[in-house]
Structure 1
Amino acid sequence: MPGSEFENTLIDGIYEAAIVPEGWSRVLRDTARLARCREALLATVLDDDPRLIASSPEFGEAYEGLLQRIPFGVNERAQRLLAHGRHGFITDQDVFSREEIAREPIYQDFLIPAGYGSGVATVITAPTGDMTIVHCERSLADGYVDAAGIAALQQLRSHFARAGLISRRLAMERAHAASQALEMMGLPAAVLGLRGQVIDANDLFQGLMPSVFLDRSARLAVAHAPADEMLTAAIAAISQPDRPQPVRSLPIPARHGEAPMVLHLAPVRGRARDVFSFASAIVVATPVMAGAGPEAGLIGGLFDLTPAEARLAAAIAGGHTPREAAQRLGVTEATARTTLKRILAKTGSRRQADLVGLLRSAAPR
């Protein structure tokens, strides 16, 4: 049965937002209006880690704050939704008694004081292993969403599900296009998912498996253990951009006839509000070739070195000993060697020879 003009426009908007994620906030505002709620959100959840878009910045910030205080994995409201909301929209009334609401911290300490507490939501399981949650919220004082509101939302459920599949497919196509573009430049490259697992790799990168790289189910690994430790730290840090970041250019020595190389890891921040994109980083392997070293500015930017460290690193990469570099830079040899130790630590190099190879691989060709 055809819906109203408002509902038909809303459905069109859902599919448009699947392609242009900036449209999700407007779609969610209209979804909340359909259910006679104040706000709405759309979230994707993988391994109890939700990423969400909200109908308004204020609601998004408020819900992010809630999830920081009561994480998704131990959030009783979220867990009951997962248990009971996989076949349609449900309300708090369906999974909580009045007595439970009166004593649950999530209601008493956050939702009700903030003017919320009456939600209606559903969970949609995706073939990719993640879940999509569509959730509307209003004040508990306004009562629970009635049967008519739930029925109206239920008419949208399949459209949200299909839009999610479209968005995921488009995200995968973008990942594939990125790795193929790098292959055309002669660069082995792979796109990593949120957990560091390979979601796309070009033929050049696949040719380095398993001699150099290991495509494990948990995450990409490096066959050389010290480099793998650095990769583990770099992958873990991507999801925490506000914290100090480890080295993202990792030296890998020659193995099984392969040239020594450097693995560069670049975070993928994604488009605004694109919660269906599960790419976290692109990794590019560059072989170490003999040649002149890069200039200090490039070195400093790649490895987060201070200006003094970058100048010394450039001199070392140019073939100078620490004593010669110290003379060129007007510092004592002791200062140069102390600075060199900091450079080795920041770049993850164990020896000066490793550092030279790493820096020369970064030089433009």
Structure 2
Amino acid sequence: MVDLFDETLTDRIYEAAVIPEKWPDVLGEMSRAVDGAGGLLFTANADHTGGITSADIKTTFEEFIRDGWAAMNIRPARLGAANYAGFVRDNDFFTDEELDNDPVYRDFYRKRGLGWATGTMLDTPSGDSIIFSFERAYAKGPVPVEVVQQFDKLRPHLARSALLSSRLGLERAMAMAEALQALGLPGAVLRGGGRVLAVNSALERLMPSLVQDRRERLYVSDEAADVLLADALRRRPVAGGPAMVNSIPVAATDEHPPMILHLLPIHGAAHDLFSRATSLLVITPVDRAVVPTAQVLQGLFDLTPAEARVARGISEAQTVEGLALSAGVSVETVRSQLKAVLSKTGLSRQQELIHLLAGTMLPASKTPPTP
């Protein structure tokens, strides 16, 4: 059998473990060696699916994730059920009838000229599944058995490299949290669904009075703020979509001043594929002594410049009518902007906004559910 792969490919596989940006080139080289249409390396769990691809299939994979095809994909389940320590092909565990009638094969793969692949699944100590898949054009027929045999020779190296990347990804997440600590900011790196991956000591000191590290996800002790956090975690951006930053107000208590929770997406970086980091949570206190400037308000709550001016004006006890007159706009426009401010800050009344921005006590929150 002719060896399909360059003898230095193994070295490049291990290099990609340390420098994840090299994975696309490695996947592309493996795919081209077997006359394939693209290589993919992705991780999957109950919360999230994401991956790295060779350049030739990147757009297709982003569409696959964005449009919900990944949720219907039965390949991972069949691979997992097979529990086979090697590469397998579609026609090894699907019948022809299943392939013809499955909506993902019929309506996604084949409509894009794909439909054959060889792949393998690796389980990690964290419970995630790591999958390598190499796609082949439907017109070329199933992946030849001799090609699969050569992929099997590389599988131990791919497995060790992926597991090493997973370990390094966790270390990067921890370093990210500690970088926030150096800036004096409590922070945590979250996995899919809001589960804690790494947390710095500044945030640990706010547990459990402000936040609680529960099994299913990070919770906020303030019930109203926790509802907003849960909603923000559900609205994760899809691959290729715009980044969504959420700023969530938390009422003051006897133990801490009013706080702002900022949830920032970790989006599209190869470094974060294996750590499963999806969000960065940063906490900043509201200074009791200073009403934030319009620029600060804009950054804290993701307001437009006009909304920020309205928020600051309200915090300074200006009226809606006065704000409209000074800005040269209608009262209805200012009311609409104020409504947007309340929505973005998670508040329901103008007086609550004044209390928040003045750093005084917000209305008492209900007692949160028992962990």
TM-score scaled by length of structure 1: 0.84
Output one character per residue of 1:107-153: Cα deviation in whole Å (capped at 9) or x when no partner.
44443454333321111111111111111222344343334322211
The corresponding residue for 1:51 is 50
CA–CA separation in structure 2 for the residues paired with 1:358 and 1:194: 30
The corresponding residue for 2:18 is 19
Q: CA contact under 8 A between 1:193 and 1:199: conserved in structure 2?
A: yes
CA–CA separation in structure 2 for the residues paired with 1:134 and 1:244: 27
Instruction: Identify the match of residue 326 of structure 1 among 311, 323, 328.
Output: 323
Q: Identity over the aligned pairs, expressed in percent?
A: 38
Output one character per residue of 1:157-211: Cα deviation in whole Å (capped at 9) or x when no partner.
1222222222222222222112212222322211111211111111121111111
Deviates further, 324-333 or 305-314: 324-333
Deviates further, 34-43 or 159-168: 34-43
The corresponding residue for 1:191 is 189
The corresponding residue for 2:130 is 132
Instruction: Identify the match of residue 260 of structure 2 among 256, 259, 262.
Output: 262
Instruction: Measure how far apart 1:228 and its partner are.
Output: 0.6
CA–CA separation in structure 2 for the residues paired with 1:278 and 1:360: 38
- The code of the aligned residue for 2:161 comes to A
Deviates further, 67-76 or 159-168: 67-76
- The code of the aligned residue for 1:188 comes to P
Q: CA contact under 8 A between 2:189 and 2:277: conserved in structure 1?
A: yes
Deviates further, 73-82 or 168-177: 73-82
CA–CA separation in structure 2 for the residues paired with 1:70 and 1:236: 15
Deviates further, 182-191 or 28-37: 28-37
Q: CA contact under 8 A between 1:72 and 1:78: conserved in structure 2?
A: no
3-state SS in 2 of match to 1:60: helix
Give the RMSD, CA atoms, in angstroms. Answer: 3.2
CA–CA separation in structure 2 for the residues paired with 1:70 and 1:190: 28
Q: CA contact under 8 A between 1:116 and 1:137: conserved in structure 2?
A: yes
The corresponding residue for 1:312 is 310
3-state SS in 1 of match to 2:193: coil
Deviates further, 47-56 or 190-199: 47-56
- The code of the aligned residue for 1:186 comes to G
The corresponding residue for 1:340 is 338
Change (3 A) 1:160 1:296: same
CA–CA separation in structure 2 for the residues paired with 1:239 and 1:327: 35
- The code of the aligned residue for 1:19 comes to V
Deviates further, 115-124 or 126-135: 115-124
CA–CA separation in structure 2 for the residues paired with 1:324 and 1:279: 46
* Structure 1: segments with no counterpart, 5+ residues: none
The corresponding residue for 1:280 is 278
The corresponding residue for 2:9 is 10
Q: CA contact under 8 A between 2:48 and 2:192: conserved in structure 1?
A: no
Q: CA contact under 8 A between 1:48 and 1:73: conserved in structure 2?
A: no
Instruction: Measure how far apart 1:260 and its partner are.
Output: 2.5
Q: CA contact under 8 A between 1:193 and 1:278: conserved in structure 2?
A: yes
TM-score scaled by length of structure 2: 0.83
